[in-house]
Every structure is written in C-alpha cells, then in structure tokens.
Amino acid sequence: MCTSRPVVHQYESWSAIIRCVGLLTLWLVACTALKAEGGDSTKHSLASLPASSSDSQIIALTVVAHGLIDRNSDSAFLLARRALDFSTGRGFQSGVAHACNTIGWAFLSKGRYDSSVFYLLKARQIFASLESPRDVARVSINLSEACTRQSHFSTAIEHLLEAESAATKAKDERILTDVKRQLGIIYRETGEKQKSISYLKEALAGFEKQKDLRRYINAAVSLCIVYNEVDLRDSSLVILRSCLTKSTQIPRNEYQQGMIYEHLGNTWKGKKEYGQALNNYLLAYRNFQKIGNTADIAYEAINIGRAYVALKLFDQAKTFYSESLHLADSLELTNYRQEIAQYMSEMYVAKGDWKRAFEYLQKSVEISDSLSAAASLAQTRELTERYEAQKKEQEIALLKKNNQVTLLTMQKQRAWQLGSGIVVLLLVLMGALAVNRYRLMQRSQRIIEIEKMRNDIASDLHDDIGSTLTSLNIQRATLSRQFENNPLVTASLKKMAEHTTEMMESISDIVWAINPKQDTMESVIFRMKEFTAEVLEPQNIQYHFDTRGDLSGQLNPRQRKNLYLIFKEIINNAVKYSKGNNVQIEVVSENDWITIDVKDDGVGFDEATVRRGNGLRNIRERVTELKGFVQLESTLGKGTFVSLQLPYHDLGMKTSDIKSMLPSNKSLRNHDPHTPVI
C-alpha cells in the first residue's frame, strides 16, 4: 500500500491554532513511536499521550496512524488502538469510527481480511448514523478492496455502488475516481479485460485532472497489469517508464518506485527478456531494502531467483531463494515458504537433479496441506480478537452501567463454550489431516517401490534374456554357413531363426510394456509408428499416420500392452491378408475419447465366411477390457476399415489433470499498489 495525503473530516472548532498545535504534538509522538527500537519503547510513547486530548487531536492521531501503515504497521496499529480507547472512553463516536477505519486498513495490510472487514463495517455503520456521506464513501471503498482481495467480487461491487452514491451526495470527485479504479481492478480479476481497461483509463484521466500524482501512478500500474495479461507488453513498458519518471517528483517514494520496478520486471519476463527482468527486480529489491520492508524483500528475492533460473544461473538463484526462505521463516509467511519450495523444485528439475526436485516438491505439498490447517487457526484467532474487542467495549460500558454484570457473565460463558468447541474441532481436524498425510506417504512409497521393481525387471529382461537370444542368433548364423549344403539342417536353422526373432520381438515388447518411463500415450503412439514403419516399408506398402488432439495421457502397463497389441494385430492382418498398396492410420483425441482408425485398399473379406481365428477374438477381448468399442467393415474388392473407440478417462489421467493437483504457480501477492482512502 502507498500512503496518501491526509484528508481529515471537518469538525467545528473555535480555534484553528489549538488544532495545529495538537496535530504537531501527535506527529512528534508518532515519529517517536516509529523510531523507537522494540515494542516497549513504542508502548511507552503511546502511554505518554495526554488523556485530555481534544476531539480534533484524536482525529489527527488516526490520520497519523494511517500514514504509518506502509512503513511500520505495528506502530500504526498501536496508535489507532490508542485513539479507539480515547474515543470510547469519551463517548466520541466519530473518533471511534475513524479509529476503526484505520485499524481495518492496518489488518488489510497484514492480510487479516476477516478482521479488516469487521472493523470497516463498524466504521461505516457509525458514519452512516452520523450522516457523513463522504466518510461512508471512503470506508465503502476500503471495504470493496478487502472483498476484492478475498475474491468476493459481487460483494465488492455492492460496496462500490454504495461508495459511488455517497460520494455523489458529498460531491467528492476524488472518491468517484477511486471507485472507477477499483471497478477496473474487479473487472480485471473477473476476466472482463476490456471493461477493466476502460474504467482504469477513466480513473487515470480523473487523477490527472485532480493532479493527484500518487493515485495516478497506482492506477497506471493497475492498467499495465491488464496490458500484460492481454499481451500488450510494449504499451505496458511505455506507461511504466513514464510512471517511474513521475514518481521521482514525490518525496520518500521508495515503495511506489519499487512496485514500478517490480512490474517492469514482470513485463520483461512476459517478453522472455530475462536479463532485463532481472535488472528491474534487483532495483525493486534494493528499494524495499532501503525502507526495511521485509515482506517485500522476501517476495522480490523470489522474483530474482526465478529470473536467474530462466537464465540458467542456478547458484545465484539458490542464494536468493535461500534468503527469501529465511525471511519468510522469520515473518511466519507460510504461503511464501510453499511458493519457494515449489520454485526450488522447478529449479532442480531444470538442473536435472530429480532427487532434490522430488524432495522440494514434497515440501511444497506438505506446506500447502498445512496452510489449510493454518487458515482454520487464523480464523480462530480472528474470532478471539473480535471477542476481545467486544469484551473491552463492554467492560468500559460496565463502569457506567453496573446492572449489566449478569449479562456479561453469561456472554463469557458462551464464549468459553464456543472456544472449547472450536479447540476440540481443530484437534479432530488436525488428527484427521495427520492420518490422511500418513496414508498418502505410504501410498507414495508403494508406488515408488513398484516402479523400481518394474525398472529392475525391464533391465534384467533386456540384459540377460536379450543377450542370450542375441548369442543364440549368432550361433545359428554360424551353423547356417557350416551346413548350407544340408537342406534338413538349413530348414531347421531357418525355423530357429524365425522363433528367435519372434522371441526377441516379444521380449522387446515386454520390456517396453513394463518400463515406467513409457507410461504415456505419446510413448504408445511413438511405438505404433515404429512398428508401422518396420512392417509396411519392407512390403512396399505406402502409409499415412496422422494424430490429432491431446495425447498426453498416463497409462498403466496393462493398458499400454493391450492398446499396442490391438494395433499390432490390425497392422499384421493388413500385411498378411489385404494385398493392398496403401494403409491410412489416424489417431484422434476428442471429447474424452480416443479413436484409432486403420483403413487399407486391399481385397477385403466377407466376415461371415472367413475362418474364425484368434486374431479378431483377441482384438475384441482386449477392447472390452479397455471399456471401448471396435467396428470392423470389409467389402470384397474394396478393402477393410477397423475403428477403435476408447474412453480416455478410463485409459488414464491427462497431464493437465495431474498438473491441477500440484500447488498453483499463481503468486500469492496482490500485485496492485494500494492507496487507502483516508
């Protein structure tokens, strides 16, 4: 988020001088809190605030807190809580609303969206009761942003419509322009790119007219994100470079400049100019280091690592990934740790280090699983914080109304019961997750052991039996030369050669069928093409082998074997019996079905009169096992047509389905720069 110039609601006061002195005092206190080292110093500064502060000073305190959110969110939160305590104790409703708005935005910056919405809704309710349309509008804008980050787009639009109505009533053009920018972001996230571009351009024109440079730059960056998504990266580069120049006109603007550099890096990465992308990521990284924004440093280190991987500079990539992981651990950013583990797995895949790639992929999946449990725990903490906030307000009210003691006790008892129920539920959930995780690990171990055994069997068959058959064939050739004048021996050796060749082909098929490296539909297609060429070309039979559609499925050994043997039998029949000159082969994947068509221009046959052999029966049995259908059409003198139809989902899982089970590559960071409406 980026800070904005403070705009304070106008309050009636008889002395502007007193307000100025009070505001100056609070600024000095806020600066002391920001510079203080450690939580005790900050708390001491806050405790030193005068209890006799005026209403205007309390409002000024919330403005100061809002301005601190980008640089020191913890100090900002403490200042806002102090303002809330003062306002509640004095019964100053407007101060309570301003403090709740600031606390809500502070929670938003920390990613605590439920708590953020809770405080923002409370602020809007109070402002509505005070009939302050401008304040209602600005809080509704902040609510819309909180809902957008949670992908609650319909709710976000409802808040924007309310903000637009209130801003129109208050005649506040700046908030109306902010509404357009937020609408542009929502339409971008929902996939309506053209509407997004239109609204963001309107926002740009409005901020330029209002000479609000900071918001102009934020809207421009949001527009560039859309341009990158619709492949208008050159336009994005032009706008971002212009924004970079304009950003130097704003003092202490390292954060916004860092965001611009980051999006310049993203744009260059989209153009596959990884060197340029790396340079801009490094500039963003240094900007975030200047302001000590640890979370942004950790994220930028991930971007730098990915750029180094794209440039094949794996040692440098590992250095930045390790730094990001260290920072993520210190900040307890579990989502970043999951993302880093996934990217490190991809890095080791690029290096060909499959063992480490698998180890980091396991870590990524484990962290992803833990995030679900962590989300439940976070929700519990947020509920507890809400309860504590409500309890504190009730305790202050009890000083004036002692007759509510009984009611408060009952509320505590219900809260404890609710908390106990949540704890028990969490324990049960954690136990279930642990058991499920153990089962998954056991199943994965069994799969690895089975694949190792298949590799060993394939290797043994190829090395032992294959070499024995090759030696036998060599000895047969030697005997053929020695007894070439003996017809009986020559005939026996010829049969031996045929049997040996058939056995070698069978061994080759078996090795191929059980080798786990061949567990793909693409491997089967390649094998089919090889066999077609080996059989048809020596017979001077012309053939065409065409493929269409997604053939990236995974098959188990029995499925591959059955599919290949069916095809092999069809081609052998075409060679032995068709007496044709051309064979047309087509493999098509469409609508979750695979169709294999084989057609020749041979003599054909009458299926009713042909002798029933094992070939056609085997084809039908294997097709039935694959849960498919076979169609055979043959006419004397016009050739034969065989069509297989097999369900893809029963053959195996598509690669796209496998990828969908892995952690998403989408970044967990919200890429839009944010400016709170204060």
Q: Is residue 593 classed as helix, strand or coil in its secondary structure?
A: strand
SS3 for 292?
Answer: coil
Contacts of 143 (CB under 8 A, 6+ apart): 117, 120, 121, 124, 156, 159
How far, in Å, CA of 365 to CA of 377, rounded? 19
What is the 3-state composition of the chain as percent helix, strand, coil, each rounded to the nearest 5? 75, 5, 20
E strands, 323-368, are: none
Closest by CA to 114, choosing from 337, 383, 352, 389, is 383
Q: How far is CA 244 from CA 177, 217, 257, 654, 675, in A?
A: 22, 9, 6, 45, 17
Query: What is the Cα–Cα distance from 328 to 300, expressed in whole angstroms?
Result: 12
How would you classify the pairing of strands 542-548 and 582-590? parallel
Structure tokens at 590: 């469409």
Say if strands 639-647 and 542-548 run parallel, antiparallel, or are unpaired.
unpaired
Which tokens go with 655?
């690669």
Low-confidence ranges of the chain (pLDDT < 70): 1-53, 70-73, 111, 370-404, 447, 449-467, 469-471, 473, 475-476, 480, 489, 493, 498-499, 502, 504-519, 607-613, 649-678
Q: In whole angstroms, give the CA distance from residue 604 to residue 423.
A: 75
Q: Say what the pTM is.
A: 0.49
Query: Which one, of 657, 655, 596, 603, lies nearest residue 628 by Cα?
Result: 596
Q: What gap in Å lies between CA 670 and CA 529, rounded to an integer?
A: 48
Contact 342, 324 (CB under 8 A): no
Per-residue pLDDT, 320? 93
* Distance, CA of 678 to CA of 673 (rounded, Å): 16
What is the strand order of the sheet 593-600 is part of?
Answer: 542-548, 582-590, 593-600, 639-647, 629-635
Question: What is the DSSP-derived secondary structure letter of residue 520?
Answer: B
pLDDT of residue 121: 93
Residue of 567, 566, 583 lying closest to 641 (CA atoms): 583
Burial 437-450 (b: 16+ CB within 10 A, else e): eeeeeeeeeeeeee
**Residue from 295, 304, 229, 230 nearest 262 by CA:** 304
Task: Specify whether the CB–CB gap between 144 and 159 falls below 8 A.
Answer: yes
Contact 87, 58 (CB under 8 A): yes
Q: What is the pLDDT of residue 462?
A: 55
**Dist CA 419 CA 423 (whole Å):** 6
